[in-house]
Amino acid sequence: MSAVGRLRDWAKTVRRDAVALWIAARDPRTPWHAKAVAVAVAAYALSPIDLIPDFIPVLGYLDDLLIVPLGIWLAIRLIPRELMAEFRAEAARRMERPRSVAGAVGVVVIWVAAAVLLLFLFWPRASQ
């Protein structure tokens, strides 16, 4: 397997584990301290806001390459193995579900409508 293939598999595993931690944080069988770490890591991993912005060369991706995997590792260590296996299976199942095409179309329509409205409101009009 090529380095790109291994990196792609690793990224899928990290994403699956982030979703599994989100599931774990909502499960009553998960210990409270594991829930706290899982919520923090899952929220950070799934959030579009980064601690270090991605536009900063090299450092921008440092949090994605180090902080998130270390947080996931810590949270996984705090959750019992049997539960984590169950959460990973559920996360994999959820990730395989088809995406909603209607939902995607709806979001695109809203963005286009907002852009048209902004153009209408702020487009310079010829003086009469």
pLDDT digits (tens, 9 = 90+) for 88-123: 999 999 888 766 777 778 888 898 998 899 898 888
**27: in domain:** yes
Q: Is residue 117 part of a domain?
A: no
Cβ-Cβ contacts under 8 Å for 45 (sequence gap 6 or more): 14, 18, 21, 68, 71, 72
Does the residue 128 lie in any domain?
A: no
User: Does residue 104 belong to any structural domain of this protein?
Assistant: no
Mean pLDDT, residues 54-80: 81
Q: What is the pTM of this model?
A: 0.61
Q: How many CB atoms lie within 10 A of CB 104?
A: 10
Q: Which domain holds residue 27?
A: 3-99
